[in-house]
Amino acid sequence: MVPQPAETLPYSEFKGLNKSPNQVRCAIVHLNFLRQQNFFWILDTLTASS
């Protein structure tokens, strides 16, 4: 099972975000970064095993 860090963040981190656009932007950037890191980790794993 491949970990999905972007999907496991607690809901409480998102509850108040609509009050702070800057915080929303930071959260989106952070989630994109996590997905990107996860993507490259999957690529590394696949290429290493083949």
pLDDT for 41 equals 85
Q: What is the mean pLDDT of each run of 10 residues along the chain (50 residues)?
A: 55 57 77 84 81
DSSP state of 11: T
Tell me the percentage of the chain whose pLDDT exceeds 70.
Answer: 56
In this prediction the pTM is 0.36
Position 36 in a domain: yes
Position 40 in a domain: yes
Residue ranges making up the domain that contains 42: 20-50
Position 34 in a domain: yes
Position 35 in a domain: yes
pLDDT for 2 equals 60
pLDDT for 42 equals 83
Backbone angles phi, psi at 40, to 5 degrees: -70, -30
Could you give the number of structural domains in the chain?
Answer: 1
Q: Which of 34, 26, 44 is nearest to 8 (CA)?
A: 34
